[in-house]
Each structure stands twice: as structure tokens, then as C-alpha cells.
Amino acid sequence: MPHIINVGKENSAEIGLHYDDFGKGRPVVLIHGWPLSARSWEKQVPVLLDAGYRVIAYDRRGFGESSKPSAGYDYDTMAADLHKIVTQLDLRDVTLVGFSMGGGEVARYFGAFGAERINQAVFISAITPFLLKTPDNPEGADGSIFEEIKKAISADRLAFLTKFFADFYNVDVLKGTKISQEMIDFSWNIASIASFKATLDCVSSWLTDFRKDLAGIRVPTMVIHGDSDRIVPFAASGKRMQGIVRGSRIALIKGGPHGLNWTHSDEVNRELLAFLGKAAVSSRGVA
């Protein structure tokens, strides 16, 4: 059943994060992408529960059924929100799974709070390590791209979402085989109820440099990315993670778009469960 954790206050209103807490076993915390909600994990939650894990999935501030304050859409605040969920639920031996923008929360969590309660990290279609092109980050994207996104959102957020999800799921290639019109509509509907302010402000947060956060990760780390990701191309993101996060491994999903946790859920779930299982074997002391 759904629950609320209070993470702050704006004027007279509490800021509450809506979350679901299912099952028993070692906890897996799912952090969704932009501009969706925890409902985007529909293909993963039942599989994780069947495998014997406790699953906690929450809506980021500004999205889904969580509160929609006017501020706090920077990664320091959003990682602190995640930390409140982990500590208030007293979670231990946690696997953090971040999709797209959610990968930023995972990275900044380690940079800000360390790994005391965390056992593993998973980055799916993640924006890490650093999306913005700078002199020391030539693989990044030009800042003008993000300014154009903000202009399009400001002009007509709902029209922007239609185009965004076409690229999110590679609809021109995968519709009718890997993605239905109904699922595209479902994603649009989730995104449409997000706060306009949150939807807009988060674009600036994508330009956060996570390289120092990632370099300090010392827990087993998995990167899952599609080789056909049009939103966060593999070459600019997932491919670079192995050179920053010591000992991390990469699963490159053939034909996978950005939203591969739906379109290629079988492959994603197989990789995720195999990675989670390695922690269970390690904890039993089996080589």
C-alpha cells in the first residue's frame, strides 16, 4: 500500500514523497526517470517480488503522487530526499537502482552519504557521468541542446512530451512489436500530471557533474544501457562509466532505446536479477 515520507516544508505545506513498499527480503530501491513516476517500474516490480526481494519505489518530488514544491530540483536536495527514505525506513544492504535521471540520485547519494547502508548500485539508461560538453568533458552535449529543451517545455509542455516519448521508446522502429500506443499514452499521462516547475527545473539539474561522486563508489556496480538510446546516448554516458566506477560492469542491450526497462524488459530483468544474485552469493561466502 502507498505511504508518504515527509522530507521538508514549504511555507504552510509539508513536502511528502509518495512511495510503495512491497514484499520481504533484501531491499531494492527504484528511482524513476524524468518525467515519469514510480509507476514506470511496472515490468520490474513483480519480477523482483517473485525473486524474493523487498521493493521500495517512490515518486521524486514534483512528480507522480508526491508533493510538488516550487524548489528543490537540484541533486543535493534530491539525493537528500532519497537518504531520508533509506534512513526513515531503516533500510540495510540496499541495492539502489536509478533509471535515467534517477542515476544522478544514486551517484550523488554516494558522494554525499557514502555506502554505509548500500550494498549495490545499478544505473539504467543513466545520465551519468556528465552530460554537458566542457573543455575537460568533450564527450558531453552542447549546452544549447538543453536550452532548446527548456524553451520547448515552456512553450507547450504537453506537445513536447509527445515528441519526447517518440524518441524515448524509438516509436518509429519499435511500435507494434516492443511498445504499444497504449503504453505511450500511459507514459504521457503520467508525465502530464508532473509539476511544470519540476519538469522545467530538472533539465538544468541534468548538467550536474557526477564524476567525483562516481569515483568514490566502492560497492558492486552494474550499468545497463541500450545501444539505440536517443535520449542519453550510450557513448556519452554508460560507456564511460566503467572507466570511472572501479570494477563496474556493463550490459549493453542490443536495439534498446532509452525506455528499455519496458521495451526490453526481459533482457533488463535478466541482467538485474543476475547482478542482485551475486550479492546474495557473496553474503553467504560462496565463491
Catalytic choice (100, 195, 205, 228) = 100
CB 31 within 8 A of CB 82: yes
In b/e form, how buried is each residue of 43-79, taking b as 16+ CB within 10 angstroms? Answer: ebbebbbebebbbbbbbbbbbbbbbbbeebbebebbb
Given the residues 229, 237, 248, 264, the one annotated as active site:
229
Side chain identity, residue 106: V
- Residue 258 annotated to the active site: yes
Let me know if 100 is a catalytic residue. yes
Is residue 33 within 8 Å of 231, Cβ to Cβ?
Answer: no
**Residue for cell digits 557521468?**
129
Catalytic-role residue among 18, 32, 258, 264: 258
Q: Which residues contact 213 (CB under 8 A, 6 or more apart)?
A: 107, 108, 110, 111, 112
Yes or no: say if 163 and 231 are a contact pair by the CB < 8 Å rule. no
Long-range contacts of 38-46 (CB under 8 A, 24+ apart): 38/64, 39/64, 39/190, 40/99, 40/187, 40/190, 40/261, 40/262, 41/99, 41/261, 42/262, 43/261, 43/262, 43/265, 43/268, 43/269, 44/97, 44/261, 44/265, 44/268, 44/269, 44/272, 45/20
Q: Is position 229 annotated as part of the catalytic site?
A: yes
Residues designated as active site: 100, 229, 258
